[in-house]
A and B are shown apart, each in its own frame.
Chain A
């Protein structure tokens, strides 16, 4: 057993860490306030190859591995959690399934520009009436000659505003329940497609969360991903991988808050000495560091299993469950270390605290993760 990055993985981590320190951290508060990731950030991520980390080179990617990808998401999230989920949702929830289930034509047409970062992707499953219970989606797709006609409304769609390629889930046969769900690639200019309202959120405010409206939206039949009825399985494939991304994002948020807490504790003087001298603070910092390390090892193991082609959904569920909880605990304690200052916008820990919460919710709530884990260990 080797707990060591390869040389390339280390180089990627170092590069993205520097990028986060120099480009993301100084802008994160402003992007949070304005509710957008600045265009120059997209540009830079694309130039550096961060939108297609483990996509093979022949499809426009960097040809690296899943461990590198997860590390990229952690390091980006350490600088800006919204930028972390931008890359994670793009990669795990759209790039990965097209890579896995797409035809050669679909890979050439859609995967290529996505991996290069020329286009941004969004994954559209959630609806007002269908969250964790994905089989209850009401969006439908009907075959009409060489086309499918989509009708319905999606909401809470990450990257919804910036994306130009959407992976949309719809029922092709409602009677068949989960076996009647299909996945479609929808381009932004498809007739009958429009973007609805944008959400105002507690955290990851720079990441767009949009409503998508399909009104007799016509898309070519060749945009069906996989086969009719395969949508549910494609979605589960997406979330198994997406959990690695969200776990990495949660660790990045926790790491950022922890670093702020250490710095503050060393410089804040009370009772004539830095508060880091007090055991009450030391114990908090020690617990934070320990939890972060454990959460990191979990997502790295899940990423490694995925890379090796071994079953990983149990580990990715554990990683997300644990890392999101760690993000909540660490960011809360980081504010506590800061005292009243931590409650103000003068210090970034309040943003980390707000950003942490969503990691317990999206791509499967913590409750759903526990179900996945429990069902797996009790089966057979």
Chain B
């Protein structure tokens, strides 16, 4: 069985977000492989090490820097990578992204048994793309899983996902889509020999034309949604201190909860 892991290049978690002309100021951002995607890559590589999977393909749509995110996935243990890169893709929303990813799977022809995603990207945080891809391909899906058992011979996968107060267990026919989160595994540190090997693993580049798509079908033109503006969250205001004798404080607090924020 082959599996595909989708990878996104995102700003490092320690990035200080700054805006310039209503857009993200990307000049000083350091990019990394989306941490949730690391769980997905790790899981895929473990399935390979367990002998259940014979090829792990990492796929990313993005600018040139997405190649580094793919290289990180290859260093964890993915076998090869696909980079979909085209200036016309700039401004694509999640629907277009999903559409392009599906096209890339078709173009590559990989006979996948499973598609793995991170549950969310830490930049856009939409959680959209995995579900959109699953819908477009008509595949069953389980989101935010913390456990995965795959039986390629029986053609099924069992995934556990955390829900409020318990766990849901999904049994799905292959091929299927899963999205990964913390708790599923501990992503490994890429070893130096594996970083060197990653350099020699193949990365296939696809342009829009390669995928048989026109510029009108993607980017802002092909999207249903558009980001109009960005704004930073409001600064945290200092908390209000209630002081006095216990009776007074309690009265004051109850009044506040009742009248001001109306939770009682």
Contact = CB atoms under 8 A, between A and B. Distances in A.
Interface of A: 7-8, 11-12, 14-15, 18-19, 44, 47-50, 53, 57, 62-64, 68
Contacts of B189: 15, 18-19, 44, 48
Contacts of A15: 189-190, 195
A186 to B, nearest CB: 28
B72 A48 contact: no
Contacts, number: 43
Interface in B169-196: 189-193, 195-196
A50 B193 contact: no
Given A7-B68, A53-B192, A64-B195, 9 more contacts: A7-B71, A11-B198, A15-B189, A48-B191, A48-B192, A50-B192, A57-B196, A64-B196, A68-B192
A111 to B, nearest CB: 16
A184 to B, nearest CB: 30
A62 B71 contact: no
Contacts of B193: 49, 57, 62-63
Given A8-B199, A11-B75, A49 B192 contact: yes
A59 to B, nearest CB: 12
Nearest to A9: B195
Nearest to B12: A14
A8 B191 contact: no
A238 to B, nearest CB: 22
A68 B192 CA distance: 10
30 contacts: A7-B68, A7-B71, A7-B199, A8-B199, A11-B72, A11-B195, A11-B198, A12-B195, A14-B32, A15-B195, A18-B189, A19-B189, A44-B189, A47-B191, A48-B189, A48-B191, A49-B191, A49-B192, A49-B193, A50-B192, A53-B192, A57-B193, A57-B196, A62-B193, A62-B195, A63-B196, A64-B192, A64-B195, A64-B196, A68-B192
Contacts of A14: 32
Contacts of A68: 192
Interface residues of B, number: 14
A7 B68 CA distance: 8
Contacts of A63: 193, 196
A80 to B, nearest CB: 16
A194 to B, nearest CB: 35
A62 B197 CA distance: 10
A48 B75 CA distance: 12
A367 B175 CA distance: 68
Nearest to A8: B195
Sorted from nearest, which 8 A-B pairs have the closest CB atoms?
A62-B192, A49-B192, A48-B191, A49-B191, A11-B195, A49-B193, A62-B193, A15-B189
Contacts of B198: 11
Nearest to B68: A7
B191 A11 contact: no
A57 B199 CA distance: 14
Contacts of A50: 192
B69 to A, nearest CB: 11
Contacts of A44: 189
A14 B192 CA distance: 11
A49 B193 CA distance: 7
Contacts of A48: 189, 191-192
B149 to A, nearest CB: 26
Nearest to A69: B192
Nearest to A51: B192
A8 B198 CA distance: 9
Contacts of B191: 47-49, 62
Contacts of B75: 11
A8 B71 CA distance: 9
Contacts of B71: 7, 11
Nearest to A6: B199
A14 B75 CA distance: 12
Interface in B60-105: 68, 71-72, 75
A14 B71 CA distance: 13
